Structure 1
Amino acid sequence: MVVRKEFMKILWNWKDKKVIKVVTGVRRCGKSTLLSQFKSEVEKLGECNTISINFDDLENEFLCDYHVLYKHLRGKITAGQMNYVFLDEIQLVPQFEKVVNSLFLKDNVDIYITGSNAYMLSGEIATLLSGRYVEIKMLPFSFAEYAQFKSDFLKKEVTADETLYNEYVSVGGFPYVASISTDKNLVRDYIRGIYSTIVLKDIIQRKKLSDSDVLEKVCKFTLSNVGNLVSSKKVSDTLTSGGRKTSPATVENCYSALTESYLFYKATRYDIKGKEFLKSLEKYYAVDMGLRFFMLGIRTGDDGFILENVVYLELLRRGYEVYVGKYNDLEIDFVAKKDGLTEYYQVALSVREQSTLERELRPFRLMKDNYPKLLITLDNSNNIDHNGIIQIYAVKWLASA
């Protein structure tokens, strides 16, 4: 099992701090493994008590009553030493926040929880835990992590080159997939299991969606239109014209479910000139390219959109808030903000043709600010400086994480 060093570092930084550590992310992205590895490291320090419960395990189903859970945990807490409590897939416990909040009040309890649905940190739950938790957002393997895992798994150095990149974007970065990547049928079956679990456990049961067929069609439409601005009306019109009558409200409900379960991330539009967020149209990016492989199969002609999706996720991994930029009537692929700083990104499969290069650079050249402007492509070359606009080879940039 590869150690997710960045996430592990975050947990160590927050260890024994008086906040609840909440690890969120799509199912099977590595949350449980992260907590297990961290728990093992904590136990090596000695002089502590660890308590761990995975609510996906049927043996723990009786603990899904929050009264029973609290009594169970209270009985396991040891006085006179620090108790580290790890609660995996806590969203399966209705009103879990009451348990977590009560444990939080104890000075000798340090709490770590995971969840696979954004709903667990919304509404009344967020209000009750307000100011008492820090969210650690996990994603499947980055390209750099994928390369490291392959090296460890195969027990030989695997070069993070374009060949490996092509493998990565065809099967995705779910940790277990990296060990079965040579068998596309196994990959497809594994991701089908993840998708089915999310639809059944995290969407249909909670959102009370009666028609999973519409949900799947919205999912496929979105995967086919990565990189394009979409609206609920546009999607509903497309599905209706294709023989599946639906409404914008239904599509909106589907998008809410897909983003809450971390299958997709929504990138809102930002008017760079007006310095305001726009309420109409947005882009949706898949959490992992393996989902695209499972839903659509291998398709040609979409490599540029796949690269855009991969770059978006990488910016999230690096801690940026990411938006789709608008400057006058032109689009900037990404406006990335972190720690008060702003960077602009354009993503293109290739800019070897002069007309394509000029099209990608044009928005940057019209902008008057001095924020970093980067053009990321799959053209294999060293960094190129276009009068302050830096062109970067995507594979090298992804491998440098």
Structure 2
Amino acid sequence: MDKLYLKSQIAMRQAEFPTDLKKREKSLPVGDGKIVTIPGVRRCGKSSRMENVINELLSQGIDRRRFLWVGFDDERLVKMSSDEMHLILEAYTEMYPDIPINSVYMFFDEIQLIEGWEYFVMRIYKHYSKNIYISGSNATMLSSELKSVLRGWPEEDETLPLSFKEYCNFKGVKTDSWLEPDLAKLRNAFLEYNNEGGFPEVVLMENPLLKVKTLQTYFDTMLLKDLVEHYKLSNIEVLRYYLKRIMANLTKPTSIRSIHGDIKSRGLKVSKDDLYDWANYACDIFMFLRISNYSKSLQKIESSQPKYYCIDNGLRDAVLLPQSNDDGKKLENTVFLQLYRTRTPIDTIYYYQGKGECDFIVQRGTEILKLIQVTWSMMDSDTRKREIAGILEASKATGCKNLQIITYDETEDIEVEEGIMIHVIPAWQWLLTLS
């Protein structure tokens, strides 16, 4: 690796700060003496959150020369070996010999692309600087490897695409006004958010066709770089079809055995074990998030068919180009993403399936915190009976009496039994209060 090239990249990034970026709801910690890791799906805003840390430090009078930023998705840097990573510090100290290295803020973007990177980071933390931020698009590499090597030093701050409140901020829509014209804009913003999702770059685009093309590019990059290239997979077209099948099955328990049978019936060859591995990999790169069926038996939880939720509604629509109305499925996906986004470290999200179904059970530690049912509308009598019956069955199975049904735009309190009330809440309102 050429140190001159490293110096040019460091200097170029320093010259770009401060950047003109919108802030996210939650800021990254500064000065807590831990390595801050920012895992998340590609293009969700991980780098921007780190840049906002720099903007904040610049506003405090920190010299821009004290920022060392290296993006490892650079076509030349991605070929760097772990044995060459010491050249980064050598390049920086040669550029600024008068700056104490322990005062430098270090930002390593998409560092998981370099094999053995975690030992480099630990060496820096132990001997050089406590101000380290690292981002990456693989959950396994930014959790298990760090925890084993760094022994509890990292502080994880997972990033998802924009929340509804962040989406409104990006779009300039008021979220704190109860005037009817503002509420109308808020409802309209929710419809757009439920359809196009929250990838920041896409949200700020005006051209609908460009949005779709951009999201399709995101998917292709995840497929080819994060899955095929990183995990050394072949059978690309089968993998593409498989990911689409999981996306199409949104909100329903997914049987990989069933999908395997379908793929075989099409004359395509792939092992069932490969499909299980591929599903794990897709979750590792944050394309999907999954939950299990609730049970008091750990064995039953582990053996249940999982539900897979897509990291972004817009991404799913761009890949599937669905012909039918998927508003209800996308609403459930939106609700799940907010539950996942706002969970605490001791929260677990399940679904419930018995005679009836309940979309979400939120358990905090050993306590069942709340039950949530999601439906676009309660106006149809059959839908109303089904949703109420499902959440009531889950209530009796768990003992939880905090019951909510989230709809597009309906509000109601339903007393189903003495002492048991179901609160029906508009999604746009619920999304703004659960943060």
TM-score normalised according to structure 1 size: 0.88
Q: Are residues 1:168 and 2:193 paired?
A: yes
Counterpart-to-counterpart distance in 2, 1:273 and 1:209: 35
Deviation of 1:356 (Å): 1.9
Q: Does structure 1 conserve the Cα–Cα contact (< 8 Å) formed by 2:372 and 2:391? A: no
What displacement does 1:83 show? 2.1
- CA distance in structure 1 between the aligned counterparts of 2:115 and 2:184, rounded to whole angstroms: 46
212-221 vs 113-122, which moves further: 113-122
Matched, 1:395 2:428: yes
Structure 1 residue aligned with 2:24 = 4
Q: Cα offset for 1:26?
A: 0.6
CA displacement, residues 150-192 of structure 1 (integer Å, 9 cap, x when unaligned) = 118xxxx896533322322332211011122x42221121112
Assess if the C-alpha contact under 8 Å between 2:36 and 2:157 holds in 1: yes
- The residue that corresponds to 2:351 in the other structure is 325
User: Using a 3 Å threshold, how does the CA distance of structure 1 residues 312 and 322 change in structure 2: closer, same or farther?
Assistant: farther
- The letter for the 1-side match of 2:280 is S
C-alpha deviation, 1:310, in angstroms: 0.8
CA contact (8 A) 1:271 1:278 kept: no
- What is the Cα deviation at residue 108 of structure 1? 4.0
Cα pair 1:270 1:278 within 8 Å, conserved:
no
Residue 65 (structure 1) aligned to one of 59, 74, 81: 81
Equivalent residue pairs, number: 390
Deviation at 1:371, TM superposition (A): 4.5
Cα deviation for residue 99 of structure 1 reads 0.7
* Secondary structure at 1:259 match in 2: helix
Aligned 8 A contact 1:271 1:327 in 2: no
Aligned partner of 2:387 among 337, 343, 360: 360
Contact 2:377 2:410 in 1 (8 A): no
Deviation at 1:124, TM superposition (A): 4.5
Name the % identity. Answer: 28
Distance in 2 between the 1:193 and 1:76 partners?
34
Residue 377 of structure 1 corresponds to which residue in structure 2? 407
CA distance in 1, matches of 2:161, 2:50: 15
CA distance in 2, matches of 1:252, 1:33: 33
**Match for residue 176 of structure 2?**
none
Moved more, 221-230 or 363-372: 363-372
1:266–1:283: 8 Å Cα contact kept in structure 2? yes
Residues 322-331 or 308-317, more deviating? 322-331
Give the 5 Å matches for 1:327-346. 328-338=354-364, 342-346=369-373
- 2:228 aligns with 204
TM-score by length of 2: 0.82
Contact preservation (8 Å) 1:147, 1:159: no
Q: Is the 8 A contact 1:324 1:332 kept in 2?
A: no
Distance in 2 between the 1:137 and 1:173 partners?
15
Change (3 A) 1:211 1:273: closer
Answer 1 or 2: which has greater strand percent: 1
- TM-superposition CA deviations, 1:328-370 (whole Å, max 9, x none): 4433211123476522111112111233222212233343424
Segment drifting more, 200-209 vs 47-56: 47-56
Q: After superposition, where does 1:23-172 map in structure 2 within 5 Å?
A: 23-46=38-61, 49-58=66-75, 60-61=77-78, 64-73=80-89, 76=92, 78-79=99-100, 82-106=103-127, 108-121=129-142, 123-151=144-172, 160-172=185-197
- Pick closer, same or farther for the CA change 1:245–1:58 going to 2, 3 Å: closer
Q: How does 1:284-323 map to 2 (within 5 A)?
A: 284-320=308-344, 321-323=347-349
Name the larger-Rg structure: 2
CA, structure 1 residues 210+18, in 2 after alignment: closer, same or farther (shift >3 Å)? Answer: same
Distance 1:158 1:112 in 2: 39
Counterpart contact for 1:160–1:399, Cα < 8 Å: no
Counterparts of 1:264 and 1:209 in 2: how far apart (Å)? Answer: 18
The structural deviation recorded for 1:297 is: 1.0
Report the CA distance between 1:125 and its aligned residue. Answer: 4.4
Paired residue type of 1:313: L
- State the shift of 1:233 in Å: 0.6
Q: Which moved more, 1:122-131 or 1:82-91?
A: 122-131
Deviation (angstroms), 1:75: 5.6
Give the stretch that moved more between structures: 280-289 or 232-241.
Answer: 232-241
Structure 2: 5+ residue stretches without partners: 1-20, 94-98, 174-181
Q: In structure 1, how many angstroms separate the alpha carbons of the residues matched to 2:401 and 2:427? A: 20
Match of 2:216 among 184, 192, 196: 192
Distance 2:384 2:297 in 1: 23
Q: Is the deviation greater in 122-131 or in 293-302? A: 122-131
Secondary structure of the 1:376 match is strand
Whole-angstrom distance in 2 between the partners of 1:74 and 1:168: 46
Moved over 4 A (4+): 122-125, 157-160, 272-276, 338-341
1:281 is displaced (CA, Å) by 0.5
Report the Cα offset of residue 234 of structure 1: 1.2
SS at match of 1:271: coil
| Aligned partner of residue 301 in structure 2, secondary structure | strand
Higher mean C-alpha displacement, 339-348 vs 112-121: 339-348
